[in-house]
Amino acid sequence: MKKISFIFIFFFFLQNNLIASNKVNIINKLNKTENISFNFIQTINGKDEKGECIIKYPKKIFCNYDTRNNKILVSNGSSLVIKNDSQYYRYSIKKTPFEFLLDKNFLIDKINSSKINEMKGEYFFFQINENNNNINIFFSKKNYNLVGWQVEDIYQNLAVTFIFNTSINRKIDEKLFKLPKID
């Protein structure tokens, strides 16, 4: 009986150490990341959009969508603009989930205090609930890279963003994060 108890306790502590180790690895990866460039596929209401983005911590993003109407999404850290050939929308970043997704220190704090979950044996994810924003953020089990997120957009649509072809800490032009003007 003592042998069975020992084996159970051993595996319990081993599993807890692996979970803690995975969190530490994700946090270490985030701590070393100043910016990340990637391709993405974003699905909202069953409709896919593709493109390229650059995130620069804290709270800056530039996304160029592969659309005929030249859609871009830009945050300078305080405002978020979504613009295409015929429309221009400007929001306070504080009114969007990007307030949290683009804040590396916030993410690290939440990861530290959240339960780590697994999905399909390939991903770790964390559920974050902050100021009526429900965010699921996903990381690769292989290399601990950010691989996507799931949020409700500003119109309460479920938006799932999968990122790939990532490059970390590239030299980037700060001018990318300058908000575009209304045409």
pLDDT tens per residue, range 45-79: 899 999 999 999 999 999 999 998 999 999 999 99
Domain presence at residue 64: yes
Q: How far apart are CA 77 and CA 72, in angstroms?
A: 16
Domain presence at residue 136: yes
Domain presence at residue 150: yes
Of 42, 34, 47, 26, nearest in space to 140 by CA: 26
The domain of 72 spans: 2-177
Domain presence at residue 92: yes
- pLDDT 10s digits, 113-132: 999 999 988 999 999 999 88
Domain presence at residue 65: yes
Number of domains in the chain: 1
- pLDDT 10s digits, 137-178: 999 999 999 999 999 876 788 999 999 999 999 999 999 999
- Start-end of H helices in 33-134: 98-101, 104-113
Q: How far apart are CA 45 and CA 30, in angstroms?
A: 30
| Between 44 and 3, the higher pLDDT residue | 44
Residue 4 has pLDDT above 70, yes or no: no
Domain presence at residue 183: no
CATH of the domain at 54: 2.50.20.10
pTM of the model: 0.85
Domain presence at residue 15: yes
Domain presence at residue 35: yes
Pair of tokens at residue 95:
């009114």
Average pLDDT over residues 17-24: 70
Pair of tokens at residue 169:
């800490």
